[in-house]
Structure 1
Amino acid sequence: MPASQAPVLLYLWDKRTFYLSPFTEPLQLSQAAAMLLLSLDGDLSVDCAGSTLECRSALLPAGLDLTVDCRDSRVAICYLDVFGEDHALLAPRMARQQGAVHVALDDEAFWIERFDQLHCVSAPPEEIWQTLEALINPQDLRPLGYACDPRIVRVVELIKLDVACNQSIDFLAEHVGLSVPRLTQLFRQHVGVPIRRYRQWHRLFVTSVGVARGMNLTDAAMAAGFTDSAHFSHTFRSIIGMSPSAALAQPRGIRLFAG
């Protein structure tokens, strides 16, 4: 089908999240996860820390505050793995860097054409996942020098085990044998954002998974630990850069999957 008639794609996996949609308004992002952007129809304008970059592809680490003007283009957004392995694999393949933002992916034109094709056929999740694997880690390698502290891995596991519960940082620190200041430092070092911000991000993910599996938005948000729909909407907008209705209630429809 023509791209103008293709639905929005939102596919959710535990390791990565993929979203492909046209964007008519700038995204005001407070990055809670690393992200790869590919604009399918024209240049993006990325404004971060007072500097502006024009590009078709951008790699953004967690922890940034920035504005992305998509200029009505369709944009493929891949939220990358929480521990930074995907980011470490992609960073050497970007042509240039300004501050923390990398731009111009190698073989950029090929990947833009590939995601355009996938959008036009409303590709199934399995094909999107295989394409992301081929894009991010075609040789199934671990990035040189990459390592994540197993204690931080365990803290993320504990947060995921009971997403609706606000386990205190003291509880998490004691569970992994760290002081609170050391846990706070290590978590931000390995994940890129504070524990509270990561918890908010994961609750957004869990809410979206609930919607994909048939729950209404309010019930899914409450089950994920949000106090009410207003709390969910505010968090969604502050992290994702748009309202939940703008992301999920598309006029051309949305193809939603949770793996």
Structure 2
Amino acid sequence: MIHAITAPSILYLWKSRTLYIGEYPEFSPLTQGAASLLVGVDGPISITQCSSGETISGNSFLIPAGITFVLDSNGHRIANCYLDPYNEDFFRLKQAMKEQVGEIYVGNKKEIMQAAAFEKMLCHTLDQKEASSLLEHAVFPSIFEAPKRPATDPRIVEIIDFIQDDPTINHTNKAMAKRISVSEVTLQRLFKATTGIPIRRFRLWHRLFVTATLLACGRSITEAALEAGFSDASHFNHVFKDMLGMSPSSIIRRTKNMAIFVDEGALKHSLSDVG
């Protein structure tokens, strides 16, 4: 765990989820590699869907993976929770959203409670275990409110684990399809149906997660990016900007006043990936 004396922003890195709470002054398009729950902590925020140009205002949004949009925080602090790669979190949260506008879901039934929970995490600098417990009880719907979907296809679980085991390796679709005894076309179809994004984009997204974990361990941006599998700093900067809507340097400038918590499981997993 790394944390500053004051924490105007906070970042949690778990093995299956990532949560950022704080300011978001950027206005660049982003295409996330995972579904996410976006909540305005202090008040309404706005989302512009790049596919239609439509702008929606609200206090909470559920964004599917692979959707390109622009976020305007309206000067408010935001909470952006990146969900698990199997989309099980997304399925649960979708059942608690009030409406769908285009490709984005708007208005969570628990958005007031969610904003209060994120405020508590930020103001009290909860550690990762406390934050994870609060996230599960105050942010996600209960099993009674939103039953879990049927189990994820075990073949795709195997491929996700295979990619995450060593993000530095660019496994070919042919090799991965052979691993689970399907055609390349079937692999790509099943993978996107599960995660919402193509295999290559998922691999890049996971490399960003590994990079963030290594940064939290004290690596420089260049060291972390190369160890996570990016070909060079330029490649990392491009992917970072594309998926998160801001430059790596803008994040680094904030880390002096950012509390960063890395879950032990995520830390061991990431370090073994690059070890």
- The verdict on a shared fold, with TM-score over 0.5 as the criterion, is yes
CA distance in 2, matches of 1:54, 1:142: 25
Return the offset for 1:105. Answer: 1.0
1:81 aligns with 2:81: no
Question: What's the CA shift string for 1:31-66, capped at 9, x where partnerless?
Answer: 210000111122111111222111011001112111
Aligned 1:187-206 pairs, distance under 5 A: 187-206=191-210
- Which of residues 76, 87, 95 is equivalent to 1:92? 95
Identify which range, 55-64 or 247-256, moves more after superposition.
247-256
Task: Give the length in aligned residue pairs.
Answer: 255
Q: Answer yes or no: is the 8 Å Cα contact 1:8–1:252 preserved in 2.
A: no
CA distance in 2, matches of 1:140, 1:27: 38
Return the offset for 1:112. Answer: 1.0
Q: Answer yes or no: is the 8 Å Cα contact 2:91–2:149 preserved in 1.
A: no
Q: Answer yes or no: is the 8 Å Cα contact 2:96–2:146 preserved in 1.
A: no
Aligned to 1:172: 176
The 3-state SS of whatever aligns with 2:20 is: strand
- Which of residues 31, 44, 57 is equivalent to 2:60? 57
Which residues of structure 2 form unaligned runs of 5+? 1-5, 264-275
Question: RMSD between aligned alpha carbons?
Answer: 1.7
User: How high is the TM-score relative to the length of structure 2?
Assistant: 0.88
CA distance in 1, matches of 2:54, 2:258: 34
The 3-state SS of whatever aligns with 2:29 is: strand
Identify which range, 191-200 or 44-53, moves more after superposition.
44-53
User: How high is the TM-score relative to the length of structure 1?
Assistant: 0.93
Return the offset for 1:137. Answer: 4.5
CA distance in 2, matches of 1:111, 1:162: 34
CA distance in 2, matches of 1:140, 1:155: 31
Return the offset for 1:103. Answer: 1.1
Return the offset for 1:117. Answer: 2.4
CA distance in 2, matches of 1:10, 1:184: 32
The 3-state SS of whatever aligns with 2:254 is: coil
Return the offset for 1:211. Answer: 1.0
Q: Answer yes or no: is the 8 Å Cα contact 2:99–2:105 preserved in 1.
A: yes
The 3-state SS of whatever aligns with 2:95 is: helix
CA distance in 2, matches of 1:208, 1:247: 10
Question: What's the CA shift string for 1:113-156, capped at 9, x where partnerless?
Answer: 22112211222222211111112153489835433211111111
- The residue type paired with residue 39 of structure 1 is G
Return the offset for 1:27. Answer: 4.4
Aligned to 1:41: 42
Q: Answer yes or no: is the 8 Å Cα contact 2:88–2:149 preserved in 1.
A: no
- The residue type paired with residue 69 of structure 1 is D
CA distance in 1, matches of 2:142, 2:216: 29
Return the offset for 1:89. Answer: 0.5
Question: What's the CA shift string for 1:135-194, capped at 9, x where partnerless?
Answer: 215348983543321111111111011110111111111111111111011111111000
Return the offset for 1:214. Answer: 2.0
Return the offset for 1:6. Answer: 3.0
- Which of residues 205, 225, 244 is equivalent to 1:221? 225
Q: Answer yes or no: is the 8 Å Cα contact 1:6–1:121 preserved in 2.
A: no
The 3-state SS of whatever aligns with 1:116 is: helix
